[in-house]
Chains A and B, each alone.
Chain A
Amino acid sequence: MWAQIINAVLGIWLMASAAILGYSDVKIITDNEHIVGPIVASFAIISWWEATRVVRLYNVLPGLWLLLAPWVLGYDNGLATTNSMVAGALITGLSFVKGKVEETYGGGWSAIWKSDTLHAREARKQPRTDLEG
């Protein structure tokens, strides 16, 4: 989970970095960071919980985009380029850190469509419940 806390902080950092590092007059760089930042922070926060930990992988794409953005969008600011590259590399790398999953979830999300899953097997083992809700 620590990895996804760092990714959330990196997302929020991207929202603030243009103002802090002083290139907020360059619209294209600032806009890019203001769009990617909240997305990264949101995916990271959602993956704080074990049942939705898989959402951390959604940050691989925004992370890789931050590595490419200085060239695709033609950044003319060294500081912004460095910031984007470092943040992008960290976000991409940390997205792959799964961390501890201590609870069990009946086989997880794929168990909704697959057969012979943990929840189906466990349900067969248990006695039927009575009609009480």
Chain B
Amino acid sequence: MSKKEAIPPGWSYNPASWGQRLPIVIAAMVGFAIAAYMALFQFKVIDTVWEPFFGDGSRKILTSKTSQILPIPDAALGALGYLVDALAGVIGGVRRWRTMPWIVIAFGLAVGPLGFVSVLLVVLQPVLYDSWCTLCLSTALISVVMIGPAMDEMLASLQYMKRVKDANVSMWKAFWGYKEVQGKVL
């Protein structure tokens, strides 16, 4: 199959190409590594946490009440979130916007809340604890940067779902990428 056929109708490029997806996957892996490192500190596997700018900031933030609001420390949850994003970014081929919309839409939905929670935590650091945490700010930046590039692919999948609906093809089957509906709608 030619490369051109992977481009969604009415688009000038393919948002599911590897050139589009790999940067997001790499960003998610970096986010995972940083969050995992902070989680190790929260699990007390390591005694100190790297903080170049804000003195005791990282320690204060990572041991704060907010960080322990859930049964597992927040950095561990963050690490899990980045891992899900990386996996959802890597699964499927360059036509996945129509062959497996579920993963593209799940990917788009996973990136959104992760970014939202990261920004919320960035707001809470100075407001509640009067300190900043360099690595927390870095992971928040990564999760915000991932939102934009993940959304174009989701848009292509949602437009495909709209065409499926208009063609009276089963949206359920198209969403999960059933073989029998493949190619029925472009």
Contacts and interface: CB of A to CB of B under 8 A. Distances in A.
Interface in A61-120: 102-109, 111-113, 115, 117-120
Interface in A31-88: 31, 34-35, 38-39, 41-42, 45-52
A54 B100 CA distance: 26
A5 to B, nearest CB: 13
Interface string B80-96: 00000000000001010
B147 to A, nearest CB: 5
Does more than half of chain B's interface fall in helix, strand or loop, or is it mixed? Answer: helix
Contact of B152 (A105, A117, A129): A105
Contact of B93 (A49, A51, A115, A133): A133
A29 B159 CA distance: 44
B99 A126 contact: no
Contacts of A119: 8-11, 159, 162-163
Contacts of A39: 119, 123
B126 interface: yes
Nearest to B93: A133
Contacts of A113: 162
B11 A103 contact: yes
Interface of B: 1, 5, 8-13, 15, 93, 95, 99, 115, 119, 122-123, 126-127, 140-141, 144-145, 147-149, 151-152, 155-156, 158-159, 161-163, 166, 177, 179, 182-186
